[in-house]
Amino acid sequence: MIDKKIIRTSIISVLIGITISILILMFFAKEPGSAALDFITGTFSSPFYFGTFLNAAVLLCIAALGETVSIKSGNLNLGGEGQIYAGGFAAALVFTLPVPSSVAFLLGFAAAALSGTLQTLLAAFIRQFKKANVLLTSFLISAAAIPVIDSLIAGKFRGKTGNLLATEFIPENLRLLPILKPSPLNISVFAVPFLCAVFHLFVQRTKTGRQLTIWGTAPEFARYCGYSEKKSLFFSLAVSGAMHGITGALAVCGTYFTCHSGFYAGMGWNALSCTLIAQSEPILIIPASLILSWLYTSANRVSLMQGLQFDISSLIQGIILFCISVNYIARKRST
């Protein structure tokens, strides 16, 4: 059961974050009134923005589901961005291999999941054998991976994409079917409710899921019960890395059709915020991702319309996460 008080504190913190974000936009906008109105309604004004908003929510959801599992087990995976990037890069390379499309599709997603998982498993390994905080090592691994991937994209694997630093475009038959042209929204949107339900059932109804949760909330009790810490650590981080990697693959075959330099920017941190707003509850990730996606799509839209030269999204990212940090404690108190 989800506590109503918890939902209320989540909503309040997000509302405060949104209010501060709108105030900042109004402060810098040439026409504050229309900017505020545009911020609220603009995303729903055209199929392009509406589809972009839903597509961003899909990507957020998938990555956030991975983050959910690691947070449930008490491990904060801060390397989401590097895992998403590695996943997208691996998928983009496999998708261009000269093999039948169905094989390439499956191999691409497997490679994406694996490339994310390898990063998180390394963090789990360091935690297990050196007791280093996953929070720190997952970030370090991701930060080390990003420039290497950048270098590979700009060098050996650069495709014929003009001025764009990107890999070769993937074949047409491997691109996910669009459902709201000209937006990037595609059929992956239908998989999200199913995945959220699967993760919800896994966490709530399976022995492994319950053990993970107990490790996250009461590690001493989990140890007393004889639950394997090693299994919980490695499993949760493997799932987290895999989901981030798959997010990268989805971004490549559904949105960009290539792996371009820096496509991951902000996705990892936004997925973390999404998970924290949803209180690591898989079902709540859907509304949380919709809210965050709307916020960022609107902010970018207004920023473009009002001619703001700076990246408003990253500012909002920080504000929202700060508001969530307040809510996080309120939630802990109420539980």
Partner 1 sequence: MNFILGTLAASAPLLLASMAALTSEFSGCMALFLDGLINLSAFLCFAFTTATHSLAAGIFLSVASSAFFIGIMVILIEKLNANKFLAALAINLLCTALSSTLSSILFGTRGVLTDPAFVFSAVQSRIFSTIAAYILAGVCWAFLTFTKSGLYIRISGNDSIVLRAKGTDVTKVRFLAWTTAAVLGSFAGSFLCIRISSFVPNISSGTGWTALAAVFLGKKNTAAVITAVLVFSAAQYGANNIQNIELFKNVPSAVLLSLPYLVALLLILIFPQFQRKKLH
Q: Using CB under 8 A, list all residues that contact partner 1.
A: 28, 76, 78, 126, 129-133, 135-137, 139-141, 143-148, 150-151, 154-155, 269, 276, 309-312, 314-315, 317-319, 321-322, 324-326, 328-330, 332
- Least CB distance from residue 106 to partner 1, whole Å? 30
Length of the chain: 335
> Is the previous residue joined to 182 through a cis bond, with omega within 30 degrees of 0?
yes
- Least CB distance from residue 314 to partner 1, whole Å? 4
Tokens encoding 148: 């290497």
Taking the CA atoms of 215, 217, 219 and 220 in sequence, report the sign of the dihedral they define: negative
**Residue 178: DSSP 8-state:** B
Tokens encoding 230: 């090693």
Widest CA span of the chain, in angstroms? 62
Nearer CB in complex with partner 1: 132/305: 132
Nearer CB in complex with partner 1: 124/192: 124
- Least CB distance from residue 246 to partner 1, whole Å? 24
Nearer CB in complex with partner 1: 194/310: 310
Nearer CB in complex with partner 1: 78/195: 78
- Least CB distance from residue 133 to partner 1, whole Å? 7
- Least CB distance from residue 261 to partner 1, whole Å? 10
CA distance 167 to 267: 20
Nearer CB in complex with partner 1: 274/276: 276
Which neighbouring-strand residues pair with 111? none
- How many CB atoms are closer than 10 A to CB 2? 12
Single out the residue of 313, 291, 238 nearest to residue 77, CA to CA: 238
